[in-house]
Structure 1
């Protein structure tokens, strides 16, 4: 199996369907979550909804680059999202999240292996491979936060 397929599958594991590393994934944690829980604050932590939107923000931004576009995402905007006020809005967001995550994985999978070692937009950002791996690691980091916040919220009810 070529390395782009392997790395694409690693990305799918954290977002869409895996249980090997964390025994869960974003889809498992969020798919049937009531929107009121997703937007519930716990102390001064980010909400589950904001953390999911944060990861989606980066997926979208990197997808744009993968498709030949510019890198327009900025860290300073990566937590700025409109509030979610209904289950319909939450479900719409989740559908977009899953679709964009699958697009990310498909774009990685279709990438020529040599592309992994090429520079990603600017030298300071490293290679494509480094950015894809960072997206996977970043996603696991916030997945862990989501799991802990859900446990905190369950203890409050």
Structure 2
């Protein structure tokens, strides 16, 4: 299996359908969370909705680059979640997340393996491989946080 196919599989595992590493994934963890739970603040922790937005923000930013655009995302905006005031808002956020995740994986599958060693936008960001691996690791990090926050809420 090519490198890009393996990376797309790993990416889908953490977001959409995997159980291998964490015995769960974002879609599984968020499936039974109401909008009220998703926006519940516990101490100084981010909310589940904020963490969901945060990961999707980075996915959408990388998609833009994969599609030939510029890297327009900035860390300082990565938690700027628009208000979630009802179930529809929460469902819209999750659906955007699932759609962006699938788009990311589809684009990744279409990349040639040779692209993985190319520089990503700017030399300071390293290679495509480094950024894609970083996206997967970043997602697992926040998946763990969501799992713990969910336990605290319940």
TM-score (normalised: structure 2): 0.99
In structure 2, the partner of 1:81 is 81
* Partner SS state of residue 59, structure 1: helix
**Count of residue pairs brought into register by the alignment:** 154
CA distance in 2, matches of 1:97, 1:78: 14
Asked if the contact 1:60/1:100 (under 8 Å) is kept, the reply is: yes
Query: 1:3-152 alignment to 2 at 5 Å?
Result: 3-152=3-152
Q: Which moved more, 1:23-32 or 1:116-125?
A: 23-32
CA distance in 1, matches of 2:94, 2:19: 19
* Unpaired stretches in structure 1, ≥5 consecutive residues: none
Asked if the contact 1:8/1:105 (under 8 Å) is kept, the reply is: yes
CA distance in 1, matches of 2:150, 2:81: 20
Cα deviation digits, residues 112-149 of structure 1 (max 9, x gap)? 11000000000000000000000000000000000000
Tell me the C-alpha RMSD between the 2 structures. Answer: 0.6
